[in-house]
Amino acid sequence: MLLQWHGILTSVPLLAPGLYLVLALGLIPMAGRLARQGNAFAEGALVMAIASASYALSFTLLGIAALARYQFFTLLAALLALVLYICARRGFVGLSRGERALIAIEGVLLLVIIISRVAL
């Protein structure tokens, strides 16, 4: 049963490594602007986005495969960078309903991915 879920999850475009590479590359300049203002959350988002992008790009240049299982760190780091960026931009107080829903969806997605990776 768990292997079936894993197969379904890895075939979903939401787990495509390129999506998270684009997300990380997009967050780098946005988080960089806020990090120059001294925002600690933005600095964390910038570091995670750079780590995610550099890891994914290293597999692009040197890796023999770019399967989702090899890009697990890219996925986690890009999603964490997105959460940190949202927190840096708006703070914990005053998040809109859509932003809170996005953070909740990311949390559930991360939990499902971590459980499927640990169990397999």
Distance between CA atoms of 102 and 63, rounded to whole angstroms?
31
Which one-letter amino acid corresponds to residue 19? L
The residues spanned by each domain of the chain are 13-119
The pLDDT value given to residue 33:
92
Residue 15 gets which letter from DSSP? G
Provide the pLDDT for residue 25: 94
72 Cβ contact list (under 8 Å, min separation 6): 113, 117
Does the pTM surpass 0.75? The reply is no
Report pLDDT for 62: 73
Closest CA to 77 of 96, 97, 57: 57
pLDDT of residue 118: 62
- Give the residue from 68, 54, 86, 65 showing the smallest Cα distance to 19: 68
User: How many CB atoms sit inside 10 A of residue 17's CB?
Assistant: 21
CA distances to 1, 34, 64, 67, 78 from 120, in Å: 11, 39, 22, 15, 22
pLDDT in tens, the chain (120 residues): 666 766 666 666 766 778 888 989 999 999 999 889 888 888 888 988 998 899 888 877 777 666 666 777 888 889 888 888 888 887 655 667 777 677 777 777 777 777 666 665
